Amino acid sequence: MSVKIKALKKSLWLFHFNGGSCNNCDIEILDCLTPKFDLERFGIKLVGSIRHADVLVVTGFVSKQAAPRLKRLYEQAPKPLIVIACGTCACSGGIFASSYHMAGPVDEIIPVDAYIPGCPPKPEAIISAVVKLWQKLK
Amino acid sequence: MTKILLQILIFPGFLFTAILGCLVSWIDRKVTARVQWRVGPPLLQPFYDFVKLLGKETIVPEGGARRIFLIAPLIALAAITLVSTLLWQVLLWPQQSFLGDLIVVIYLLTVLPIAVIIGGAASANPLASLGASREMKLILGYELPFILALFVPVIQAGGKIRLGELLTWQWTNHPFLYSWSGIVAFVVAILCMQAKLGLVPFDMSEAETEIIAGPYIEYSGAPLTLYKLTRWMMLFVLPMFLVIMFMGGIVFSSWHILWGILKYVILLVVVILIRNTNPRLRIDQAMRFFWGPVTGLALLAVILAFVGV
């Protein structure tokens, strides 16, 4: 394993994009950073700008408004970039799957590396996704 | 010539400061985590961040001034390296310092925010230029009380302006902190240092929740690494500067080394606690704060120093 990947595994910086979610998944993501779960133990922290990010976390079914912006964010991010679809809506569309303003679940717009199902996913589920990402990064 | 280069690049200069800066930024994150009842990152976290950011892609925004955008972080890094070299030379060999190095240090410390402003303005991003303009106003705010506060030790020592002489004066008499004017000036200097470091009550120039990292918004990869490294080194160098100016520096003999490190760590933890227990001010509130009460206190300290208490 190269030094680059090893360092990347130890310091994943998250950028969080809300593509029309009900805000439930977003709160669960923030839950992971609270004292009880504290993902900063593993070097994970939230950043404000996509240029600083290593992980793009997308929540919500992606609406027609949000889809071009999501695509643009993906293009603006410095590579290597990992994309996580967080929540049932982001994975498959959830209850919005056949609605008129749906631009498709995340993987129809940008390539996705990990899916976290759940409505909303528990913080434990998000942490298990992080562990699976570590195993995938080689 | 090689000796000077080695000093700047390795021992008191770049490498040494960078490693200790990483350590200090870890202390910052760890104490912050403990204040918030969390566990906090591992010891090597800043090194991981550093290596990871070096491995990322560097993007120069379309419409930005490419050359200035890439040079600005180097200017900041060079300035902080020089400050650190000067200060450590003073600590290790107080007789060698040259006339007016205090003024050189003050100038070099002003170069750092200017480099950030140049970089932000060159990135062609409205939020970055907003952050740069706030940084500019903040310099105007804190620079006057900071210089007045640093004037107090000079007056107390009888007009000496070499850092080495100020340090030996403190070793033969008493640290400048042990006098009324010294205490007031020290408080003012801590507040100004907080603004210089861009830590929480005065971090409006990079407020990540409103203007998402301000001047740093478009930086990625290696230039961002340099900025981060500069910030960590500042967190190491600036408290050290105040320890030299007010608390008698570090004496390099047996137990005195531990006492010196303890002084430094206490000052660092004070900075971190201020950072963790305050909300962010607006830029106009910060200006009013610095030009009102803080400058008043600094003037009071100067008057007290002239009176001789």
Percent of chain A with pLDDT over 90: 1
Per-residue pLDDT band for A1 (boundaries 50, 70, 90) equals low
pLDDT tens across B299-308, in order? 999 998 888 7
Q: Which of A14-18, B164-168, B189-193 has the lowest mean pLDDT?
A: B164-168
Which one of B36, B49, B218 has the shortest CB-CB distance to A11?
A: B49
Q: Do A38 and B216 touch (CB under 8 A)?
A: no
- B227 contacts chain A (CB < 8 A): no
Which of B39, B101, B113 has its CA nearest to residue B72?
Answer: B113
Q: Do B33 and A8 touch (CB under 8 A)?
A: no
pLDDT tens across A54-86, in order? 889 898 888 888 899 999 889 888 888 888 888
**Taking CB atoms and an 8 Å cutoff, what residues of chain B touch A8?**
52, 55
pLDDT tens across B43-61, in order? 888 888 888 888 888 888 8
Give the number of domains in chain B.
1
User: What value does the mean pLDDT take over residues B137-161?
Assistant: 89
**Taking CB atoms and an 8 Å cutoff, what residues of chain B touch A40?**
29, 33, 38-41
Looking at the complex, report in whole angstroms how far the Cα of residue A36 sits from the nearest Cα belonging to chain B.
7
Q: Do A10 and B56 touch (CB under 8 A)?
A: no
Alpha helix ranges (H) inside A1-138: 3-10, 24-31, 66-76, 88-92, 123-136
The rounded distance, in Å, linking the Cα atoms of B71 and A105 is 41
Question: What confidence score (pLDDT) does residue B296 get?
Answer: 92
- B110 contacts chain A (CB < 8 A): no
Chains A–B, number of C-beta pairs less than 8 Å apart: 80
**Taking CB atoms and an 8 Å cutoff, what residues of chain A touch B209?**
48
Question: What confidence score (pLDDT) does residue A54 get?
Answer: 87
Looking at the complex, report in whole angstroms how far the Cα of residue B140 sits from the nearest Cα belonging to chain A.
27
Q: Do B218 and A54 touch (CB under 8 A)?
A: no
Q: Do A76 and B59 touch (CB under 8 A)?
A: yes
Q: Do A40 and B38 touch (CB under 8 A)?
A: yes
Torsion angle, alpha carbons of B106, B107, B110, B115, to 10: -150
Question: What confidence score (pLDDT) does residue B173 get?
Answer: 82
Question: What confidence score (pLDDT) does residue B298 get?
Answer: 92
Is residue A98 over pLDDT 90? no
In the block, tokens 């760590």 appear at: B265
Question: What confidence score (pLDDT) does residue B188 get?
Answer: 92
Is residue B309 over pLDDT 80? no
Question: What confidence score (pLDDT) does residue B145 get?
Answer: 92
Higher pLDDT among residues B215 and B4, named by residue: B215
pLDDT tens across B15-47, in order? 888 888 989 999 999 998 988 888 888 888 888
Which of B230, B202, B232 has its CA nearest to residue B214?
Answer: B202
Q: Do A48 and B212 touch (CB under 8 A)?
A: yes
Cα angle: A30, vertex A32, A37; to 5 degrees: 145
pTM of this structure: 0.88
Is residue B252 over pLDDT 80? no
Helix, strand, coil shares of chain A, percent, nearest 5, are: 45, 15, 40
Looking at the complex, report in whole angstroms how far the Cα of residue A75 sits from the nearest Cα belonging to chain B.
11
What does DSSP assign to residue A48? S
Q: Which positions ≥6 away from B299 have C-beta within 8 Å?
A: B148
Q: Which positions ≥6 away from B11 have C-beta within 8 Å?
A: B88
The long-range contacts involving B34-37, CB below 8 angstroms and separated by at least 24 positions, are B35/B272, B35/B273, B35/B276, B35/B277, B36/A35, B36/B276, B37/A35
Question: What confidence score (pLDDT) does residue A21 get?
Answer: 84
Report the CATH fold assignment for A13-136: Rossmann fold (3.40.50)
Is residue B71 over pLDDT 70? yes
SS3 B123: coil
Which one of A38, A76, A78 has the shortest CB-CB distance to B221?
A: A78
Looking at the complex, report in whole angstroms how far the Cα of residue B1 sits from the nearest Cα belonging to chain A.
35
Is residue A49 over pLDDT 90? no
**Taking CB atoms and an 8 Å cutoff, what residues of chain B touch A48?**
208-209, 212-213, 217
What is chain A's mean pLDDT, rounded? 86
User: What value does the mean pLDDT take over residues A106-132?
Assistant: 87
Higher pLDDT among residues B207 and B22, named by residue: B22
Is residue B207 over pLDDT 80? no
User: What value does the mean pLDDT take over residues B247-256?
Assistant: 79
SS3 B213: coil
Per-residue pLDDT band for B198 (boundaries 50, 70, 90) equals confident
Q: Do A47 and B213 touch (CB under 8 A)?
A: yes
- B52 contacts chain A (CB < 8 A): yes
Best mutation target, A2, A31, A38, A40, to test chain B (most B CBs within 10 A): A40
Is residue B295 over pLDDT 90? yes
User: What value does the mean pLDDT take over residues B100-129?
Assistant: 88
Domain that holds residue B21: 2-307
Best mutation target, A5, A14, A49, A54, to test chain B (most B CBs within 10 A): A49
The domain locations on chain A are 13-136
Higher pLDDT among residues B200 and B104, named by residue: B104
What is chain B's mean pLDDT, rounded? 87
What ipTM was reported for this prediction?
0.83
